[in-house]
Structure formats: structure tokens, C-alpha cells
Amino acid sequence: MPDINLTLNGQAVSGTVENRTLLVDFLREGLGKTGTHVGCDTGQCGACVVHVDGVSVKSCNVFAVELDGSKVTTIEGMANADGSLGVIQQAFQDHHGLQCGFCTPGMVMTAAALLKENSDPSEAEIREYLDGNICRCTGYHNIVKSIQAAAAEMNASPVAAE
């Protein structure tokens, strides 16, 4: 079985995987990082979205072995250094952007990818970008509000967003 090395949330990690091990299974079971969720396991729901080398990827739809040497960021990497919630996470809490929370890790990672590409998205752009993220609880309304609030916060104090 191959050994792989990743930079996970800024730290070097390694592990042994089967070729068929999905990234999400390596994260959850191999590394104990259970923040990334599996909603569907078919690439539809977006609960498993993480960033690979800076872009969003569905971690249930990529093999860990393909990513040897990559930089991976998960929801665990979104908190501030002191453990407090990052800007996007805090906005989700403040604006009730979650109910059961199952979709939330993927929503936050997708929102982070969006705000990196487009720091001031319109409501339509946010909804469009969330196309691959399904939420069974909120009806999306407060998720959109949370992302708008996070964008406003980041634009007001760019340093805090780093």
C-alpha cells in the first residue's frame, strides 16, 4: 500500500492508504479529522468539500493517492489560530446559517472558495456558486445571508480575514 504525504491545514501529515481510499476517508478515518462530512458519497451534495491546492474539491470524489504532495485545507483549518471561529464560521453562527449542521463544513469551504475568487458576490452569484452544496434544513436563505455578512466583514477589515 502506498504512503502519502500531504500538508493538511498547514501541517505535514503522512499515512498509508489503499489506492482506492477516497480523500474523505483518509481524512476522517486515517487522520481523525471528522469535520469533513459525507452526505451522499456520490458527488452530489457538497458536504465533503475541502480545498486542494487552493481550490474546492469534493473529497468523496477524489482518491487520496492522487493528491500525494498536495496542500489540503479542511473545515478544521478555518478556525483562527487561538481556536475561535474564523470570519465565515462566525457569520454562519451569527446569521443562523445552519440548523442540523451536517452540510455546514462543505458550505463554509465552498463559501471560502467563492470569496477568494470574488470578494463581493451578489446574492445571485452566491446562489449559483452553491449549486453543488445541498442543505436539507435551512432553505439556503440564511446561508446566503451568512456569506454576504462574511464578505462584508472581510471587506471591512481585510487583515482579520487572513
Ligand X SMILES: Cc1cc2nc3c(=O)[nH]c(=O)nc-3n(C[C@H](O)[C@H](O)[C@H](O)COP(=O)(O)OP(=O)(O)OC[C@H]3O[C@@H](n4cnc5c(N)ncnc54)[C@H](O)[C@@H]3O)c2cc1C
Residues forming the site for ligand FES (CB under 6 A): 38-41, 43-48, 58, 60, 98-103, 135-138
The reply to whether 132 sits near another protein by the rule CB under 8 A is yes
42 lies in the binding site for another protein (CB under 8 A): yes
Q: Is 142 in the site for another protein (CB under 8 A)?
A: no
8 Å CB contact between 135 and 103: yes
* Cα separation, 3 vs 5, whole angstroms: 7
Q: Does 118 bind another protein (CB under 8 A)?
A: no
Q: Strands 3-8 and 49-52, how do they pair? A: unpaired
| Residue 124 interacting partner from ligand X, another protein, ligand FES, none (CB closer than 5 to 8 Å by kind) | none
The interface with ligand X within residues 33-52 (CB under 6 A) comprises 43-44
Does position 63 interact with ligand X (CB under 6 A)? The reply is: no
Q: Please pick, from the candidates 3, 66, 120, 123, the single residue that binds another protein as defined by CB under 8 A.
A: 66
CA count, 13 A, side-chain hemisphere, 63: 11
Q: Which three cell numbers stand for residue 66?
A: 492522487
Strand-pair partners of 8:
11, 72
